[in-house]
Amino acid sequence: MNRSAPRPRFASLLLALFLTACGLRGESAAADAPPSPEVMRALVRGVNLSTWFTDREAPNIRPQRWYADASDFKLIRKLGLRHVRIPVSPAFLEDPERPSTLRGDRLAELRQGIAQAQNEGLLVIIALQPSSAVKQRLSEEAGLAALEAFWRNLARALAPAPTQLLVFEALNEPELEDARRSRVVMQRLVTAIRSSAPRHSIVVAGHKFSGVAELAAMEPLPDSNLIYAFHFYEPHNFTHQGATWGWPMWAKFANWPYPSTPEAVAPLLDAADPEAREHLAWYGEQRWNRAKLGEWLDQAGLWAAKNEVPIWCNEFGAVRDAMTPAARRAWLTDARELLEARRIPWSHWDYAGHFGLVTGDRGQRVLDADAVAGLGLSLR
């Protein structure tokens, strides 16, 4: 017998160790690879499903309007959209009596929604959306550790889903003023997700409310399988006119034109709310138009090219409640065409809410003609 050859049992052990090492290397390589072509193709155009898994305790939230079902996903797919972004609050899933565990009934409801979307071939992005109070505690170790633990549990529960049909978004709008602290938070949450779902792509974003300026200030993280997101609502005083949340002054804005010039706003000044007049006049002087929107989006494109990472505009839209249909359609058209000209994938905010793509209740949805036209969609 050749003593240099391993005994059969020892040889089997060596083979097992070798195969295990190969498997680990393969898993690591998958995690280190950039987002797959399938994921990036699906990100090209999609829509947000707001409120469904975030504001269950809020007043005036009717499930028939805000919660999606299988018929909604069929409609979304027929419009040519390829993905849905679903914000999820930890408060929806956490068991109040056992904070370290997820509520089985709530998790089953989320899984059902994900499955309905995936049955239509849609990519699903699960975006973590805690309350502002929870986000403010992320500047403290205890607050961040709690969110890490939540992500480990949620990612573990959802990780069996195919990587080409499910993406995790670490945190929507961190609301942290310090860009460096926000980056630490993103890195820690990415690590927590990776511990349970090493192969899935993860979305990260800049500090505060994750606009273009915050993206441009962000230093990329040491992980290749990431997508860098930003929101685009420029100018906010136009896109958020009539909003009853956020800045109270927005509720006093109505019928602002787009594009804006001093001449375009002049006929509206006398009828405007007295507190709103100076803001309306300034909006006219700023001359917001297609070229100015393009300058903002160029900043995002240049940052992505410099850092050689993929970017995604995961929110853009305009409140329809107090806006003229023509102005909303014009802004949506310009924003969408400018994004597409720069090959930046997008997700419209939102589906059935104040920025909505549809009106009406589940099973009786009516397409918003201006949103459909502005987004370049049609039923297929």
pLDDT in tens, 178-203: 999 999 999 999 999 999 999 999 99
Which residue in the block uniquely carries the two structure tokens 């097992």? 16
Mean pLDDT of the chain: 92
Does position 27 have pLDDT exceeding 60, yes or no?
no
> Which of the pair, 351 or 101, is modelled with greater confidence?
351
Above pLDDT 70, what percent of the chain? 92
Does position 4 have pLDDT exceeding 50, yes or no?
no
Predicted pLDDT at 57: 80
Closest among 188, 104, 102 to 142, alpha carbons compared: 188
Sequence ranges of the domains in the chain: 32-234+289-374, 247-287
Distance CA 349, CA 355 (A): 6
AA identity, residue 339: L
pLDDT band at 31 (very low <50, low <70, confident <90, very high): low
Eight-class DSSP state of 53:
B
Closest among 305, 244, 249, 243 to 275, alpha carbons compared: 249
Does position 177 have pLDDT exceeding 80, yes or no?
yes
**CATH top-level class of 32-234+289-374:** alpha beta
pLDDT band at 256 (very low <50, low <70, confident <90, very high): very high
Strand partners, 347: 46
Q: Quick one: average pLDDT of 371-380?
A: 96
Distance CA 85, CA 126 (A): 6
Neighbours of 199 (CB within 10 A): 17
Contact 145, 186 (CB under 8 A): no
Does position 240 have pLDDT exceeding 60, yes or no?
yes
What's the N-to-C CA distance of the chain in angstroms? 72
Dihedral sign of CA atoms 336, 339, 341, 345 in order: negative
